[in-house]
Structure 1
């Protein structure tokens, strides 16, 4: 099979070259349009339930809200763990499911259990809400807003009713958390002395106001040819209209709300605060959806914010768009890694030329680097794997390995062609290239699979470590296999195209002529003192093993993004 594959690649070398060029072009297009992320999705399969309970203490939240929710979802299929956090006015319950389960089915099961729960919760508590799916990196972008005139009420209104809905409409945005500012609300502040003076209870005020603002269906009027729906109008909406509400009638006189309370707009009691460069403002944390690409979503958000610039100027709002932007870290990492890959490729090319002393052979071997890496990236992208730091790390590790197969094949072909040129009865070049490739093909295939198998254990890890490091192993293994494919198909075709035109010298390259005597002397000394060398190697291995317990260990290196 391998013999036929090599023979076909030599015979149809033009087609092979065309296909390689198309792969590079298509791969370049996919890489240019692909999104980038910081890490792969490594968060466990979990569903977070949040319930607001204004006025309740942490103990009351735990007993009246968190515990009923935990009991309601207990026994769900694939449920592994349930945890809750109860603070003043807020309950957060986290349900963790098995890794092999379907996350969307888990959310559906939880929602079905929560559907009948509100009747068992306190009347003042809100309904349990399943939070939107968010990515492992969570925050895609953090931005800030300042009001030039210091009006935090208007600033929060613009944020809640204009900016947040616009950001939520962007594909890939799961939620927008708003901190700081003052939420505008119409407040009725009752005066206890006036209640006592008019002999009115607080519950009477609450009931009267509730009845006044309740939306009621008024039915319809039906005639011979149409039906007209009735709608109740005249409900109070402004402070003046609320002040005119009649709370009760006593001794022939109306007691209005204005006599019992002050009505006006004011800020809601704050639940959070934010400052930007020492000035009070609003912080917006944009949360990415599960599986969304951080870099792509960040750029869409920035485009939306750019479209809102006229509004910011009109409202006197200062925008701080880059308080925290993980995409900066991604772009910096990719740029640096790309530069290192190019530099590594250049060093490989220089090294190959120094040892082979032939520019064409160096180019043939060096071409395995871009083809192998691009081929691996294309396969990953086609299978829906986003590019991230771990994938790029796997490709960087494979940089020195992907060229090995091509070097072995190219060097043997080059040597056999030189010998054939010096022969009295030279054979056809395609036959020489075919024979030279088959000579080393077995060892190349075995070595490639052995190197790839070293990273297979990464694919068997479970938990967070498995989800985090599996893409690194996948990228490395794919790059090695693509380098093997390149050596099998492209290297013989390129050798036939570039190495069959001239005659070379049978003598070794200058660098090899300098190194061989040194290596011969060193090898002779090692053979004579084999026991000493073996004992030194054994001692070094023992020392290395003894030093392992003293190493500090971390799950991830320090990231200074």
Structure 2
């Protein structure tokens, strides 16, 4: 019980040091840093197990000596025996998580805290295992045993059963018939590696969000009253879904918002009842899609609040996939966008393709005739500023009503602004001090123009937004890109950009792979300096593909696609596998160097069985 208590105390002590470090560094606790602490739990326990187990065994051996050494001296020596292996294992874990610190953008903000929390926890665990753990051992562990009699320690029934099972199955098969074990392992490794290209690739895993956002768009220029009527019709359809609990809706967003939305857009926040239906979430969402499609004059897309926000941060569009058409002519851009939409709807998974909300709206154009203006002594620039003030208004002062600040603006009254005949007769001051009607220096005519013009990097832009209904957005975009290239002809000066979550996934995956390859080289050099043997260093590294074999197989069975979060999990598994390899080989070397064992089958069995409990505890805690 005492050894168990000391081992468990490693977790609160290590995390106390970690939280103190967080406070000193100004870091906050959030779901991602908590995830990093969860990853570190197994390795924190492993540090304590290794230290306590060695101290406990040395104290029993010391008690059996004819002249026992002082207890503190034995504990210090026992902790020193495992210090190097724990240190190198800790450094290896830190190096494995370094690639996550190299991520930028949204993925860096999401997964960087996991790496920081894990690294700080591992450093704290190393300090605790070599400081607080020996102190607790000196207080709680005694030197039981009789002088001159060999110390014996009986494992519990569960541990004895595990060791017997491993010894008579895995160890016996591996040592008796190594070829028959290695060949199936190599075959399984090859099969598991073939699963990677078969699985879909996503930026982030599907979030299990409790609410859904239904974004509905109507024709540009739709009035607030008409949009309110349309939103009420959609809400009525939504309420026919029995699993829906509450619905909140908003129309448009303020111009000072970080995400401006016109009044022709409505958003519905939907949350669900629990335990009232046997239908899955996918079935419920498909039912919602069918309901909202029944409302004419609207186009609706479903997304989760978090994924909705992340997509907007990545591409500036609230959809995981954004197909951007750039070109000088708005009509051409829109025509190409409509062709892309038709092609996208022929690909399963891209049916929810939505066009930018653009439509011709009535406009009153005032075009200055520069020659006439100069002839009358009117400067075109000053005339434009004057007309801008008269028609659009200009703030000239501020009114204060308690904490509220209200701009005071001047402009023409509505009866002048809304009538072209009156605008033509607006008096314009000339440089000679006379006034002339506006019609003498400008042409005023009614026309139609685009409801909005979007620009990106000074170029006109038209967007086709797509919310995929299937996983593997990268593969879906690849199919779309092939069809668009074959079927859509682009005029000179027009080009298409494919952006969104899939693009961030490719960039992040490439960066992780590059950094991880560099870290692998550093780890091999580090292991070589520790073991003084390239063979032993490579033997530790062999654990990595074997660990990934199980990871890939389980991911294929349970998830079916790979995201950046999955890669983070692979990194954690690699760290734990390499750490276990270091601790195992270090224990073999320790038995041969300090306990008189030779390189034999008996030494392999003893070392493996003695490390069985720590390795199992690490795997269970990390899982």
- State the TM-score bracket (shorter-chain normalisation): 0.5 to 0.7
Q: By how many angstroms is 1:316 displaced?
A: 4.8
Change over 3 Å in CA distance of 1:98–1:354 after alignment to 2: farther
Change over 3 Å in CA distance of 1:129–1:298 after alignment to 2: closer
Q: Which residue of 2 aligns with 1:303?
A: 482
**1:225-264 matched pairs, under 5 angstroms:** none
Question: Which of 215, 220, 224 is matched with 1:58 structurally?
Answer: 224
The CA deviation string for residues 397-428 of structure 1, in whole angstroms up to 9 with x for no partner, is: 444322122222223334556799x88xx79x
Q: Which residue of 2 aligns with 1:348?
A: 523
Q: Are 2:182 and 1:2 aligned?
A: no
Q: Which residue of 2 aligns with 1:410?
A: 585
1:175/1:288 contact within 8 Å kept:
yes
1:133/1:290 contact within 8 Å kept:
no
> In structure 1, the residue corresponding to 2:246 is in which secondary structure?
strand
Q: Which residue of 1 aligns with 2:334?
A: 156
The CA deviation string for residues 19-46 of structure 1, in whole angstroms up to 9 with x for no partner, is: 3322332333322443322211225453
**1:270-419 matched pairs, under 5 angstroms:** 270-275=450-455, 277-280=457-460, 282-308=461-487, 311-312=489-490, 316=492, 318-322=494-498, 324-416=499-591
Could you tell me the TM-score, scaled by structure 1's length? 0.53
> In structure 1, the residue corresponding to 2:525 is in which secondary structure?
helix
Q: By how many angstroms is 1:333 displaced?
A: 1.6
Q: Which residue of 1 aligns with 2:16?
A: none
2:211/2:269 contact within 8 Å kept:
no
The CA deviation string for residues 343-374 of structure 1, in whole angstroms up to 9 with x for no partner, is: 33333333332222232222222211222134
Q: Are 2:324 and 1:143 aligned?
A: yes
Q: By how many angstroms is 1:376 displaced?
A: 1.0
Q: Which residue of 1 aligns with 2:353?
A: 176
For 1:173 and 1:113, the matched residues in 2 are separated by 19
Q: Are 2:622 and 1:444 aligned?
A: no
Q: By how many angstroms is 1:158 displaced?
A: 4.5
Q: Which residue of 2 aligns with 1:253?
A: none
Question: Which of 597, 603, 606 is matched with 1:432 structurally?
Answer: 603
1:54/1:89 contact within 8 Å kept:
yes
For 1:49 and 1:141, the matched residues in 2 are separated by 16
Q: Which residue of 2 aligns with 1:535?
A: none
1:144/1:276 contact within 8 Å kept:
no
2:203/2:505 contact within 8 Å kept:
yes
For 2:524 and 2:274, the matched residues in 1 are separated by 45
Change over 3 Å in CA distance of 1:68–1:33 after alignment to 2: closer
The CA deviation string for residues 230-280 of structure 1, in whole angstroms up to 9 with x for no partner, is: xxxxxxxxxxxxxxxxxxxxxxxxxxxxxxxxxxxx998644433455454
Change over 3 Å in CA distance of 1:50–1:326 after alignment to 2: closer
Question: Which of 38, 50, 65 is matched with 2:203 structurally?
Answer: 38
RMSD: 3.9
Change over 3 Å in CA distance of 1:442–1:279 after alignment to 2: closer
Change over 3 Å in CA distance of 1:45–1:179 after alignment to 2: same
Q: By how many angstroms is 1:128 displaced?
A: 6.2
2:215/2:302 contact within 8 Å kept:
no
Change over 3 Å in CA distance of 1:316–1:359 after alignment to 2: closer
Could you tell me the TM-score, scaled by structure 2's length? 0.48
Number of equivalences? 350
The CA deviation string for residues 98-124 of structure 1, in whole angstroms up to 9 with x for no partner, is: 578623432465478779x87xxxxxx
The CA deviation string for residues 119-176 of structure 1, in whole angstroms up to 9 with x for no partner, is: xxxxxxx3666546797543323321426xx4x445534432x332112223432433
For 1:299 and 1:51, the matched residues in 2 are separated by 27
For 1:271 and 1:58, the matched residues in 2 are separated by 16
Q: Which residue of 2 aligns with 1:70?
A: 235
For 1:27 and 1:267, the matched residues in 2 are separated by 64
For 2:620 and 2:570, the matched residues in 1 are separated by 17
Structure 1 stretches lacking a partner, 5+ long: 119-125, 185-265, 453-476, 478-561
1:180/1:273 contact within 8 Å kept:
no
Change over 3 Å in CA distance of 1:270–1:99 after alignment to 2: farther
Structure 2 stretches lacking a partner, 5+ long: 1-164, 253-262, 312-318, 362-445
The CA deviation string for residues 44-75 of structure 1, in whole angstroms up to 9 with x for no partner, is: 4536273747876324532x333354355437
The CA deviation string for residues 294-324 of structure 1, in whole angstroms up to 9 with x for no partner, is: 3223322332233246x22xx55621325x4
- Of 1-10 and 127-136, deviating more is 127-136
1:173/1:286 contact within 8 Å kept:
no
For 1:360 and 1:56, the matched residues in 2 are separated by 73
Change over 3 Å in CA distance of 1:328–1:131 after alignment to 2: closer
For 1:73 and 1:79, the matched residues in 2 are separated by 8
